[in-house]
Amino acid sequence: MPTVELADGPTLRYREWGRPDGAVLLLLHGTTSDSTTWRHVAPGLGEHFRVIALDLRGRADSEWPDDYSLPLMADDVVKFMDALGILGAILVGHSSGALVAFLVATGHPDRLRMLVLEEMPPPDAVKPPLELPLGPDPEGRWDWKAVIAIRRWLNAPHPDWWQLANELRVRTLVVGGTSGPYDQGRMRDLANAMPDARFVSLDLGHTPHAERPSAFLQVVRPFLAPLAK
């Protein structure tokens, strides 16, 4: 796997598929996942795009720096784009990776061409609160401190994110799963708060892209079609 050492940041590993001359499609995984989660949809997307899947900080083969927050992860994504000379990209994020993608989109809208948010948690406090790990999982390929940082965010309400959604200037697709852990109505509310977004709910769980890749591609491909090579 290729590696990028970020300016004033961790070293990140990534996987790449598709055509070098296509628009860049950057995939961001969820909390306890890594870039391999995209392996069943990346080749299909790669027919028309240059597809890059990151291992975010504290996950899998990327560096585990002991310092974690969603804003830091969003900064990593922007620095990663700088390091690879990517001026603009389409971001596709799943779960907490969608939260990271949302922060990149609201903080650096000029760097994004389109945005896909799959099973992004609404900015409401999770009930009941998620338990925080007390130590590392011996079988996990993630830093337990990264999990703590993300779950603390999920356990707290974030009303300011509704205003961020109102100000989002990137064309967006929000994808939900009817059997997932998050309220689909609130996910729809979040999409409706965005000036240029649509919401699609699939009859799947929390990871539509992995559970049924064909169903995920069926809704994502038409959305991305205007930028397809």
**Omega before 222 cis (within 30°)?**
no
pLDDT, one tens digit for every residue, the chain (229 residues): 999 999 999 999 999 999 999 999 999 999 999 999 999 999 999 999 999 999 999 999 999 998 999 999 999 999 999 999 999 999 999 999 999 999 999 999 999 999 999 999 999 999 999 999 999 999 999 999 999 999 999 999 999 999 999 999 999 999 999 999 999 999 999 999 999 999 999 999 999 999 999 999 999 999 999 999 9
Residue-range definition of the domain harbouring residue 88: 3-172+179-227
CA neighbor of 23 nearest in space, from 92, 113, 94, 117 = 113
CATH number of the domain enclosing 188: 3.40.50.1820
Note if the pTM is more than 0.85: yes
Q: What is the pLDDT of residue 211?
A: 98
Q: What is the pLDDT of residue 84?
A: 97
Domain count of the fold of the chain: 1
Q: What are the angstrom distances between the C-alpha of 40 and each of 65, 170, 211, 229?
A: 29, 26, 10, 20
Q: What is the pLDDT of residue 225?
A: 98
Contacts of residue 218, defined as CB under 8 A and 6 or more positions apart, other chains included, come to none
Q: What is the pLDDT of residue 108?
A: 97
Count the alpha carbons within 13 Å of 21 in the hemisphere toward its beta carbon: 1
